[in-house]
Structure 1
Amino acid sequence: MSDDAARLDEAAAALLALPPARFTAARNERAAAAGGALGRGIAKLRKPTVAAWAVNLLVADGQLGEAVELSRALHEAQDDLDAAELARLGRQRRQLVTALARRAAELASEAGTPLSAAITDAVEKTVNAAVVDPAVAAVVLTGRLVSAIDLADLDPSDLGAAVAGSVPDAAPASAPRDDLTARRARKAAERAVREAERARADAEREKAAVDKRLATARERADRLRERVEGLRADLRRAEAEADEADEAVTEREEAQRDAAAVARDAARALERAEAARDGGGDA
């Protein structure tokens, strides 16, 4: 690519990221400043549609990289005839395309040009085309789109009309067989890593649950030990009090016996005194 072509692409990318309402004035000003062949090339740049401009915002915002990676993954899954992977990636593609169209609407609103429902639909179709078709992806990722792209109406020979400046070469849709084999091995290794990570996460969750149960059991055991020690202390106090009560009973029993003996002696003395009294009266 010549220096003039590279400079034209650079100028186109900068101008096509501007809101469409500002494009014409900015283009003419830049063309006049550049002059020469470059200036003439800039002056010929077409004003982008609002949908194309919104897609350019996504590119400038770095939002389409994941879509392109998904496109490559889709082609790999098709090469591998992996039905489960195709179904999963299909769902992921639809979710991603919808999210990117919503993000484009947010960027456009922030730039002062809200998107209508029809324009948002055109953005969504363009992003979907980039995900599905490597040639479209290459054009879209330049950030120099001037018109939206719909796969249903796309003529590959006209794809260059949708982009300002040079037309990039499309990345190959599939890789050589050796590269495909390597990718399959990588995918198998990645699946093994994901499964190992899931197993580790499951094990960590189980360990956390076991740790929690162990802590609860230890806490309960500590409480029971404290209760046992308290009961033992109560038992020791009760036994000591029982021993003291037994000693008091013994002392009182001895006092009772002594009192009973004294009472008997007193009764006998009384009997003798009464007998002596009664006998003296008879004399």
Structure 2
Amino acid sequence: MAPRLTDIARELYSVPLPEFVSARNARAAGTSDPELAAQIRTLKKPSVAAWIVNVFAQERAPQLEEALQLAGELREAQEDLDARALAQLGRDRRALTNRLAEAAAELAETRGERVTASTRGAVQQTIAAAFFDPAAAAAVASGRLLRELEPSGDYEGDPDALVGGGPPQASEVAAAPRDEVKARRERREAERALRAAEQSRERAVRDAASADRSLRAATLRVEELDRRERELGAELVAVRRDATRARASLEEAQAEQESRARAVDDAEEAVAHARRGVEDRPAD
């Protein structure tokens, strides 16, 4: 079976961007059908953001399809939602867009492409456009996107300007059976419950670790104070012992001083008595 232009375009739109022109021309030169070869030569080189989305759409097709199917369900369901639910829906949609855009950028970087902040933003806006507009969703899912998209754009009128190799088919974003929709919804609810439980566990683990650190610090403080108390107790005993000895030495010194003072008084009295004896005797 001869390859179709759409299949050839998908292949070319996922080759490294610097190689696109040479790969396109080589493929056209190797095609025996002149009409198909001419069509191949008309394929335009995609922008960097479109190329990143194409690579992601081809290599991560199940992940992208699930997200686009979910986006379609949300578009249908949002008419019945209240303001609070719509606000939550918007937050969920933005979070999903961010995750997909980040995954697409990381995939492109593994293929050697340098992804700037502005390119990441263009990829994110393109995926957001696919969430809001069915035609944009078909273009993104085709893997043949030519340029980045805007969420506020209207892409129903000129599909050839969006993709190369022929207009995208809406069937490229298949509708999921209702039981699959319910299963995915239940799975998302279970995943949210799991994330909430994991977050609670992480908080509990952090709180327990903090309590352990506080306990260790308090234990070390008590041990240090106990050690200091023992040291001061031993020092107090030694001081009391030295004070007792000092008081005893003081008493001994006082007794010695009093004894010596009495001896001095006795000596003074003996001197006075002897002097009187001398004075009472006549001189020779």
Same fold, judged at TM 0.5 (above): yes
Partner of 2:232: 231
For 2:132, the equivalent position in structure 1 comes to 132
Does residue 1:143 correspond to 2:149, yes or no?
A: no
State the one-letter code of the partner of 2:173. A
Give 2:173's aligned residue.
171
Q: In 2, distance between residues paired with 1:48 and 1:123?
A: 21
> What's the Cα RMSD here?
4.9
**Within 5 A, what are the aligned runs for 1:7-156?**
9-17=6-14, 26-35=23-32, 37=33, 40-45=35-40, 47-49=42-44, 51=46, 54-60=49-55, 69-78=66-75, 79=77, 81=81, 82-92=85-95, 126-133=126-133, 136-146=136-146, 151-155=153-157
Which range is displaced more, 216-225 or 54-63? 54-63
Q: Deviations over 1:177-199 (max 9, x none)?
A: x3333233222222211211221
Distance 1:278 1:143 in 2: 146
Q: Report the CA distance shift for 1:203/1:209 in structure 2 as closer, same or farther (over 3 A).
A: same
**1:110-138 per-position Cα deviation (integer Å, ceiling 9, x unaligned):** 69xx9xx9x99997765443333456434
Question: In 2, Cα distance between the equivalents of 1:280 and 1:22?
Answer: 149
Listed as ranges, the gaps of 5+ residues in structure 1 are: none
Task: Work out the CA distance in 1 between the residues paired with 2:242 and 2:21.
Answer: 107
Aligned residue type for 1:85 = Q
Contact 2:135 2:155 in 1 (8 A): no
C-alpha displacement of 1:245: 0.7
Cα offset for 1:244?
1.9
The answer to whether the 8 A contact 2:9-2:164 is kept is no
- Change in Cα spacing, 1:230 to 1:277, as seen in structure 2 (3 Å) is same
Aligned residue pair count: 269
Deviations along 1:66-87, one digit per CA (max 9) or x if unpaired, are 7655434434445484434312
Distance 1:133 1:244, change over 3 A: same
Identify if the C-alpha distance between structure 1 residues 25 and 274 changes in structure 2 by more than 3 Å, giving closer, same or farther. Answer: closer
Q: TM-score of the superposition, structure 1-length normalised?
A: 0.66
Deviation at 1:88, TM superposition (A): 0.8
Amino acid corresponding to residue 213 of structure 1 in structure 2: S
Q: Using the TM superposition, name which of 266-275 and 231-240 deviates more.
A: 266-275
CA contact (8 A) 1:17 1:53 kept: no
Task: Using the TM superposition, give the Cα deviation of residue 210 of structure 1 relative to its aligned residue in structure 2, in angstroms.
Answer: 1.9
Letter in 1 for 2:8: A
Cα distance between partner residues in 2 of 1:242 and 1:206: 53
What is the CA distance between 1:271 and its match in structure 2?
7.0
Q: Which whole-Å deviations, capped at 9, do the CAs of 1:145-195 have from their partners, x for residues lacking one?
A: 357767514149x5798342695533344541x333323322222221121
Structure 2 counterpart SS, 1:5: coil
Shift of 1:206: 1.7
CA contact (8 A) 2:122 2:148 kept: yes
The one-letter amino acid paired with 1:205 is: R
- TM-score of the aligned structures, taking structure 2 as reference length: 0.66
> Deviation of residue 56 (structure 1)?
2.7
Deviates further, 191-200 or 264-273? 264-273
> Matched residues in 2 for 1:148 and 1:266: separation?
126
Q: Residues of 2 paired with 1:199 and 1:76: CA distance?
A: 30
Counterpart for residue 186 of structure 1:
187
Distance 1:195 1:254 in 2: 87
